Chain A
Amino acid sequence: MSNSLDAYLILSALLFAIGTFGFLARRNAISMLMSIELMLNGVNLAIVAFGAFIPNLAQDGSVIALMVMAVAAAEATVGLSIVIAIYRNRKTPLVDEYDAMRR
């Protein structure tokens, strides 16, 4: 099981699907950002698994995974500060109450 690429890819697919559900279904903006982190982790797991099992990608997988991690950190920083800035104006973290452009 731990020696087959398929197990890792299926695990990463399930993690990505769970993240998709959270992103589409949660009302809280920070919950949505946490779901995005789950999806990024799922993709990262797939990249590491490709690096671990395909000889052509042997070292590159880890390098690309490290790059994805750095970009994810940048994304989390900017996303959370945007949420905090919106919260300061609207006094709510729930995304369905951010309706200023709908009225």
Chain B
Amino acid sequence: MPRGLLTVIASMFVVGTAIGLPVLLFLLGLLKTPEDVLFFVFAEVLLVSALLVVTMRDIIRCGLAMIVCFGALAGIYVIAGAPLVAAAQVLVYIGAISVLILFAIMLTQTKAAPSSLVFQTQAVGAALAAILLAIIVVITVGATGWGAVDQRIHTATDELATLLFNDYVLPFEVVSVLLLAAVIGGVFLAKREEGGPS
């Protein structure tokens, strides 16, 4: 069987599972509303693509999986009732940071890098530490009473703007100065020295 056909079948299987599983859970009554189904789809896309980011060999593919991860997170922001944050996520992360990271990958990868070992020797310990961290945080989340309401509070954009330009106007200006400093610093650090190595 040709390799392209196998890839097509495998990706159809993955997409079918990703959409079919939450629909099945919905029909079984475990997921109550259509929003639950959407949340489930976005959550599994988010976690699987995040795992691909940290485990794949080819770093360009890691970067592309990271874009998928950011997109799924934007969907979750929409479900959480924060559409402005979702729009900012698409603009800042998918639009700016991903392009920046892909450019940095193009500038720094040598031919030898992808074929050499991807993980440090401490990878097993790192995996254990990460799993332990996840378990501790999940237990803490379950054991804490947050005083949360059972209904999502939708964030209206005009109220958010009023708050941002009244109570938070000083942090807003500080962030703009920080971004200016980061732009100047980035240009200074990445520019070539006169007569230095090319």
Chain A contacts to B: CB under 8 angstroms: 1-11, 13-22, 24-31, 33-35, 37-38, 41, 44-45, 48-55, 58-63, 65-67, 69-78, 80-85, 87-89, 91-94, 96
Contacts and interface: CB of A to CB of B under 8 A. Distances in A.
B183 A11 contact: no
B101 A45 contact: no
B119 A25 contact: yes
Given A69-B89, A93-B109, A21 B126 contact: yes
B168 interface: yes
Interface string B153-188: 101000110011000100110010011011101110
Looking at chain A's contact residues, is the secondary structure mostly helix, strand, loop, or mixed? helix
Contacts of B163: 59-60, 63
Give the 8 A-B residue pairs with the shortest CB-CB distance, closest first: A22-B54, A24-B126, A74-B182, A21-B130, A17-B134, A2-B39, A13-B137, A81-B190
B127 interface: yes
**Max count, chain B CB within 10 A of own CB: residue among A28, A49, A52:** A52
B93 A41 contact: yes
Contacts of A9: 141
A36 B46 CA distance: 15
Given A34-B62, A74-B182, 7 more contacts: A25-B123, A27-B117, A53-B146, A59-B160, A66-B84, A73-B182, A85-B189
Nearest to B89: A69
Contacts of B159: 59
Contact of A54 (B149, B183, B190): B149
Interface string B120-137: 101101110111011001
A7 B40 CA distance: 10
Interface residues of B, number: 94
Contacts of A82: 189
B150 A3 contact: yes
A22 B159 CA distance: 38
A63 to B, nearest CB: 5
B79 interface: yes
Given A52-B81, A59-B160, A80-B104, A19 B43 contact: no
A14 to B, nearest CB: 6
Contact of B50 (A3, A38, A58, A78): A38
A34 B101 contact: yes
A47 B137 CA distance: 15
B28 to A, nearest CB: 13
Contact of B151 (A3, A61, A96): A3
A78 B182 contact: yes
Contacts of B108: 29-30, 83-84, 87, 93
B47 A14 contact: yes
